[in-house]
Structure 1
């Protein structure tokens, strides 16, 4: 496994070198090779660009359950994604697929129709919930998102959405069908469905301070399959630390539907940034309609003086550019961060999950980043044995 990790890292380096050496090969024809081939027509607005990303992870995590310790010491290709994006006949398009674990999974595969004052999106896309989830994994602060995004199954679905934004606000709402599976096996979706909406607002947006507020809702129908509420302890290399099963025939009862409400807040001031979210979900069907709560707080600081980037049109964080990348003789951008994450699952007899994550990120170039996290956490179940985790993990990330 470690040999595969090193081989993949070498391939990433070679691909980066090939892209850089091909830069500006044929600008006059409408082609551009600035790291990756792209094409545009200034007269019509038509364009396309190849896009992709690869994340190479390694971890050494101790997982102690009921006094039995298992060490997860492994490496993996966490994400291997390829696709295209652009515009044709004034319609935006994106098609991106994950190509790992011998599977083909659709990610963002959608068309965007531009109308006066709003956009209409059709295809496979994320439901509009959570600042953490709406921010691309290329730009999140830690290797894994906050627990609530996994616990409540925030995901991509086939659907239709409308979106509108102004200088200091965004709104998006949509109706969604099921989730796609491995496209190499089937093009069908499951029989779940959802309605979701999100609104964001910037009460302060100056050169020195940005304050973000947001709220979202999701109404989910699980169809005939029910659901499972489960999550790993902010590392992908271990077993899941918590699971509550609401599928048909399970002791907790079958979940027919759920209502999720999320609140979010963030602030950016110079090299400092903070981000907090609270999510609560009520399950309909099981006795008493149990409720699960999850919240986290992220704090980060750029030692090299950069400011975390934010997209006003998306109401989300975007790419942070190092002031002096290594290719220009600088040291890149260096960021230190910490996160506290808490989830209350006592209503479903699954206890309380608390995790802490310390992070250091090195932004070598605009599209190349090295991440290091140390994760520690505990699941405390009343009347049952506790489960604890701790250990470091690293990621080499390249995208284009």
Structure 2
């Protein structure tokens, strides 16, 4: 029996166990409740390749096919979530992946969470994939942010601020080849400014210790961003690489800023990381700026309990809501042996123009035009230039 089949049956059994007692609960305030949720993101991409870098083929994919069960169990909150999009690929590739799988207990001072869940790092990464103005997050979120990890965390909030801290393994349920441990924390502040008005400030910090990357079965530690397109695998550029088997420290940070003023919003982050294995050092820096405008007058939603953007309200018009957005993103990295010149010195940048039509708050179509360039700074040359048109049909429940 394949691992995917086992995972599918395990997830189904978990869902059945959770749903069965909930069906007999007298009401939602009972000792056991359950709610089924999910999301479907179907993407397409058309590339305009030039003669620099490897060519990218036009393609389509299910970016996400998630199903989850969440609820309460005798005073505890729980969630079990899996992504089935990997089943569209060849057998033995990605398969079914676990996402949020945790239990949580609320106390008067905050919430304790144990299990696997996305870590607390950056506004861009913490904003859910259902709510961002672009198909893909920026460079820093896809390379620096620690995603779904086995962890224990504490989260607390007040009306104008949040604080989350976590101790986590570098392993996940589906990946045991990345070894090590880490600590991370995130603080946000958003004073009350009235309806359709927001100012968000935040800082994220993390220290990760990778055990012998690149040897003994452990994965190499690589910083290789895509040009904000999940199907652009041939256009990655390496900004840092640690694969010599020495334990490696990775210190990360991100400074967050965002504003909402009626139908307009803008946000920016400055992120970075320092890597050191005792014999070589690397530094990566990233920043982006974006502006969003709801032509039909709506405003971006914001969740004050978690310090991140959320779902928009019901569109003002029966036909839906139109959002236009523009983003510039830049990331660079350099790496050298002690006392030696850089053997990696590279950068990547992209402009993304986006348009989103919301038929309902949970149903939208998206279209992005992405112009990206990778530069090898040791040669002062552009080594890849890719123009792509990407789109998505998105539904969540």
Q: Which residue of 1 aligns with 2:151?
A: 159
Would the aligned equivalents of 1:63 and 1:387 in 2 still touch at CA under 8 Å?
A: no
Counterpart position of 1:233: 227
- CA deviations 1:222-256 (Å, max 9, x no partner) are 1122411111000111124212453333xxx9561
Is residue 296 from structure 1 mapped to residue 282 from structure 2 by the alignment? no
Deviation at 1:109, TM superposition (A): 0.9
Q: TM (normalized to structure 1)?
A: 0.83
Instruction: Report the RMSD for the aligned CA atoms in angstroms.
Output: 2.2
- CA shift, 1:175, in A, is 0.3
Say yes or no: does 1:380 pair with 2:375.
Answer: yes
Partner of 1:257: 249
Give the SS at the match of 2:125: helix
Aligned partners of 2:247, 2:359: CA distance in 1, in Å? Answer: 46
> Of residues 113, 122, 136 in structure 1, which corresponds to 2:114?
122
CA separation of 1:353 and 1:366: change in aligned 2, threshold 3 A = same
In structure 1, the residue matched to 2:200 is 212
Matched, 1:397 2:394: yes
Task: Spell out structure 1 runs of 4+ moving beyond 4 A.
Answer: none
C-alpha distance in 1 between matches for 2:82 and 2:26: 23
- Evaluate the alpha carbon distance shift between residue 356 and residue 385 of structure 1 in structure 2; reply closer, same or farther with a 3 A threshold: closer
What is the DSSP-based 3-state SS (H/G/I as helix, E as strand, rest coil) of the residue aligned with 2:238?
strand
TM-score by length of 2: 0.83
Q: Pick the aligned partner of 2:357 from 359, 362, 373.
A: 362
- Asked if residue 332 in structure 1 is aligned to residue 320 in structure 2, the reply is yes
CA distance in 2, matches of 1:54, 1:159: 27
Structure 2, gaps ≥5 residues long: 1-21, 88-94, 214-219, 336-341
TM-superposed CA distance for 1:99, in Å, is 1.0
**How many residue pairs are counted as aligned between the two chains?**
353
Change in 2 beyond 3 A, CA 1:269/1:192: same
Distance across 1 between alignment mates of 2:242 and 2:120: 25
Q: Unaligned regions of 5+ residues in structure 1, if any?
A: 1-29, 32-37
8 Å CA contact 1:62, 1:72 repeated in 2: no
Distance in 2 (alpha carbons) for counterparts of 1:120 and 1:92 = 10
Question: Structure 1's 109 and 391: CA in aligned 2 closer, same or farther, altered over 3 A?
Answer: same
Q: 2-side partners of 1:132 and 1:40: how far apart?
A: 40
